[in-house]
Amino acid sequence: MSTQPIGPIDSSKTPRYAGPASFARLPRLDQVPRADIVVAGVPFDTGVSYRPGARFGPTHIREGSRLLRPYHPALDVSPFEIAQVADAGDIAVNPFDIHEAIDTIQAAALELTAGGARLVTLGGDHTIALPLLRAAAERHGPVALLHFDAHLDTWDTYFGAEYTHGTPFRRAVEEGILDTEALSHVGTRGPLYGKRDLADDRRFGFGIVTSTDVYRQGVDDVVAKLRDRIGTRPLYISIDIDVLDPAHAPGTGTPEAGGITSRELLEILRGFDGLNLVGADVVEVAPAYDHADLTGIAASHVTYDLVTLLATRHAQSENSTRHRSRH
């Protein structure tokens, strides 16, 4: 027998600036009997190659999420009414040992999804995407990937290190945990080390939608092409907040000029409604560089849209199951 999901704190009774800072003021995981969607933080930034500080990203995103409201007008849904969403807090990882941290994140992701829940992770730097993808592939098989980022993150090593925030998707391809028929970068831009970067990326199976492509082709065409590439495959979405122009997200470790707008990013995500989304992350939010909290606010809205996509997918699956049981 299903029960009504427990939603966020009522902001008409408790001011938004008061009370615990869970994501969107939702209940903690230990306050609900079950969860369909879990939000968890990974305060880890040992893999960065330039400006550190993303270890404080999960807290910053949660603070930015205090202004979120429970009805999503663009998708015409109240996500917290159709799925139980809960905040699991932060996964504690070793900041001095990347290998141990990766193992810890993978194990925690598997534990949080053991009952069928979908996981949205707040980073942390982009190193965390690799163990999250490993866990997703263990649950669903090799997954399609939409990677929103200014950078490719398919480089080989930095200073001889194989596991950094610039290498997770090369490692993921090498490990066979990605569906190489359905891989896309979105929002990439800026200088590279050389043409070989692009040649390697094509060899791994990635398609590229640059920030200029979004500007010239428009959101609707970009969404249509990406949906066609993904099809019905299980999909993981990884979002480095530096996909946004520094005007929209200054609080990040490796900013690049010429990025997409927060409006474009949100509209692209909303275009994926109905796809088989199985997990997502939002990473590289570094609050020390975030004047006026622009990045935290943008990241909280991006996370909200990812949660909403997962909630609508959950509701569709539940309705389909009930329909089959009646027949």
Binding residues for Mn(2+): 126, 149, 151, 153, 240, 242
How many other β-carbons are positioned within 10 Å of the β-carbon of residue 284? 32
CB 189 within 8 A of CB 149: no
> For residue 54, what are its two tokens?
């993303």
In our burial notation (b when 16+ CB lie closer than 10 A, e otherwise), range 57-86 reads bbbbbbbbbbebebebeebebebbebbbbb
Q: Which residues are documented as binding site? A: 126, 149, 151, 153, 240, 242
Interatomic CA distance for residues 127 and 256, integer angstroms: 19
In whole angstroms, how far apart are CA 230 and each of 71, 198, 204, 216?
28, 21, 16, 22
**Letter for the amino acid at 261?**
T
Q: How far apart are the first and last CA of the chain?
A: 19
